[in-house]
Amino acid sequence: MQTDNRPVGPESNAEFARAQKLKQDLAKQQPTYGIRRVERRVNHKKWEEVPFMELTSGCTFRMFESDGTPVVDEKGRSQWTAACKPFKKPNGDLSINVYGA
């Protein structure tokens, strides 16, 4: 018994699959305003994307705005070394202390 309200038949299944793929592709293109992408250094040449809350003390990381622009602090730095684990401020913002700030 079919419960997802899609039409029945092989042509309908293919059409449904195309529509689902299009929906997923469009969702990937939508910007996530206000959310920064975080990358942690794995070695001297490689970076991996991680959730902000997975950063740990001593790891080197960098961040990018939702449009891909690198985040740069007031001292002109675009890479930092975490001095602690990330935490939530009383106002709800996420933060992290870094060395040399």
pLDDT band at 62 (very low <50, low <70, confident <90, very high): very high
Strand residues in 32-99 grouped as ranges (E) = 37-41, 47-49, 60-64, 80-81, 87-88, 94-95
**pLDDT higher than threshold 90 for residue 80:** yes
pTM above threshold 0.85: no
For residues 15 and 97, the model is more confident at: 97
Please state the rounded mean pLDDT for residues 77-87: 95
The tens digit of pLDDT for each residue in 3-56 reads 556 556 556 777 777 777 776 665 555 444 468 899 999 988 899 999 999 999
